[in-house]
Copies of this chain bind each other. A is one copy, B any other.
Amino acid sequence: MEALLENPAFRVYATCSAILGIKMLASAVYTATRRQKSVGFINPEDVQAFAPPGTTVRGEEASEVAHALRIQRNDGENIPLFFAVGLIYVLTGASAFGSAVLCGLFTAARIAHTFAYTYRKQPARAICFAVGAACTLVMIFRIFVNVL
């Protein structure tokens, strides 16, 4: 395990994953603030605990909350995949340079994706998604080369 900590490729992966973890938690907080602001509660127990008196339970998500949830959902489709693929890529012998480029670019692309989605910028959001997916694909390709 000391060997792992001395491996620069792993250190880059660990740092990027930690940053992405903070990003994911921040997105969850963002959704909660959107829900509170739009009084968009869909669980009766939430209305009772957190909403002003007289608030009614919604049958479906408020549009602002649904928007925030789509940001989280898009992260959920991409970031856990990076956690796994990035680690396997590093454990199968990624170079420090390769890890810095691919993990760093993926992390930057996902943070930019969140801003592009929040401020509703297209095609910036689509480009950020594509850059992140391309980084993941290259790491997958490297895993095949390293393992097979």
Chain A residues with CB under 8 Å of chain B are: 1, 3-5, 7, 10-11, 13-15, 17-18, 21-22, 24-25, 28, 42-46, 48-50, 60, 66-67, 70, 72, 76-81, 83-85, 87-88, 91-93, 120-123, 125-126, 133, 136-137, 140, 143-144, 146-148
Contact = CB atoms under 8 A, between A and B. Distances in A.
Contact of A44 (B78, B79, B81, B120): B120
Q: Is the interface of A mostly helix, strand, loop or mixed?
A: helix
Contact of A24 (B3, B81, B147): B81
Contact of A140 (B18, B60, B67): B18
Contacts of A78: 28
How many copies are assembled? 3
A130 to B, nearest CB: 10
A1 B4 contact: yes
B1 A1 contact: no
